[in-house]
Amino acid sequence: MSAENTSSSYHHKSLVIGLFGFGVVGEGLYKVLNQTPSLKATIKRVCIKNAGKPRQAPAELFTTARDVLLNDEEINVIVEVIDDSEAAFEIVKTAFKNGKHVVSASKKMIAEHLEELLQLQQETGQSFLYESSACASIPVIRNLEEYYDNDLLHSIRAIVNGSTNYILTKMFEDKLSYRDALIQAQQLGFAESNPKLDVEGYDAVNKWTFLLTHAYGIITNPLELLFTGIQNVNAFDAQVAAEKGRVIRLVAQAKKLGNGKVAAAVLPQFITQDDHLSFVRNEYNGVVIESGFADKQFFYGKGAGSFPTASAVLSDISALRYDYKYEYKKLYHHKPLELTNDFYLRVYLSFDELAEIPKDKFEWIEEWHAREDRKYLVGVIHVRHLQTGNWWRENNTSLILQPDAIIENLELHNLKKKSLQLAGIQFHHQFGSI
Ligand code: HSE
């Protein structure tokens, strides 16, 4: 094949886009596409909710009628970047049925409807790409999908929410108040329109739900996973972290255990200085992958914001030119792994009153400190005690994972013996026998 032929075969497909949403991401994409004429992709129409808002684009581009885009035969790609997950799901379903490929940034919709979306993709054969929906500019989905073999992926730990990372950085490093840090995250276009989704961990767990599918073939529901956000992390915790030379981050993690099952959670965690995630500040995201022979690999990039997110949408649009589809290899071509709730976590808890803490639920407690303003302990607890109760989110209690938090059943006995030898006398005096 001549060089000419090779190059023309790459450019045969012209992409005519119907765009849903013209917020932070949609407008970013519009600008980025205008600066990338080589892609030969044009936005034909944009569907918006509120016709009255002033927008920096020709008025004739916009419509409020979704069917104008969905029924337009010239439009072969629907890009959907709205923040109403149910409306997004309806749009995507219709787009598939009408023979259009879809690029989406709706993490909530993908997390909540993944099974149905997989089914629809199989039925219709359309591409459904959503790299921008997790870690924005970091190509984490394509990496997990294409590069890592199921058997080799030992663990993944990641910061997947830019807003909470921005807030933690601004509060504890730059001494901003929580309120001011959140307002900045909103003004910079990082936060969800309902910032509770960021702060309380919903956005992170949504992203983690489908990253688990690409990493391990696991299909789950966000509410099945153990998660919380940064809503209870306070200045006392930040002080304890600083004393120990650590930082606090909201970390999504998954680890393949000795029995072949996967332990997963999204919780705040103390991060030591030698951990790659300690390097991730502000709206950046980071992913540390531990695999069979490569040891650790670290992916880093902006996890929120207009252009970083638009860049991932652009990359998906570009991939459609060669009909790229996720193969869901771990799900369809390997034996999918199973999630398990049968493991232990080493946790730090800070609280006002010891009476509020069910200390009998701990396997053992290895540190205990009472200060004038607040108290904290470090102990090992089975995950089911966190999954079945809310006590650790209530009464001003703050739970943060210790650096090496996940403990397997097999390890428990030896660790307990060691820990009792080191700290036993001290906590037996404090608590009696537990
Ligand atoms: N609110 C999200 C975040 C936007 O802060 O990470 C990017 O998904």
User: What pLDDT does 123 receive?
Assistant: 95
**How many Å apart are CA 405 and CA 61, to the nearest integer?**
51
CB of 20 within 8 A of CB of 79? yes
Query: What ligand 1 atom has the least distance to the C-alpha of 191?
Result: 1
Residues near 432 by beta carbon (within 8 Å), at least 6 away in sequence:
none
Query: What ligand 1 atom has the least distance to the C-alpha of 285?
Result: 6
Cross-strand bridge partners of residue 262: 256, 339
* Residue corresponding to tokens 């205008």: 34
Which amino acid belongs to residue 141?
I
Which amino acid belongs to residue 390?
N
Helices 162-172 and 235-243 sit at what angle, rounded to 10 degrees? 70
**How many Å apart are CA 101 and CA 77, to the nearest integer?**
5
CA of 173 to the centre of ligand 1 (A): 20
User: What pLDDT does 56 receive?
Assistant: 94
163 lines ligand 1 (CB under 6 A): yes
Residues of the chain with confidence (pLDDT) below 50: 1-10, 425, 428-429, 432-434
Which amino acid belongs to residue 63?
T
Query: What ligand 1 atom has the least distance to the C-alpha of 133?
Result: 8
What does the chain come to in residues?
A: 434
* Residue corresponding to tokens 């684009």: 57
Cross-strand bridge partners of residue 296: 290
Give the distance from CA 11 to its chain's centroid: 34
CB of 300 within 8 A of CB of 288? no
Residue nearest to atom 1 of ligand 1 (CA): 191
136 lines ligand 1 (CB under 6 A): yes
For the beta carbon of residue 423, count every other beta carbon within 10 angstroms. 17
User: What pLDDT does 38 receive?
Assistant: 87
Give the distance from CA 86 to its chain's centroid: 19
304 lines ligand 1 (CB under 6 A): yes
The closest of 319, 326, 302, 318 to 32, measured between CA atoms, is 318
- Kindly list the catalytic residues: 207
Residue nearest to atom 7 of ligand 1 (CA): 304
CA of 38 to the centre of ligand 1 (A): 29
CB of 368 within 8 A of CB of 158? no
**How many Å apart are CA 128 and CA 92, to the nearest integer?**
9
Mutate to test the pocket of ligand 1, among 132, 163, 207 (most ligand atoms within 8 A of CB): 163
CB of 22 within 8 A of CB of 43? no
User: What pLDDT does 172 receive?
Assistant: 92
The rounded percent of the chain whose pLDDT value lies above 70 is 94
User: What pLDDT does 13 receive?
Assistant: 75
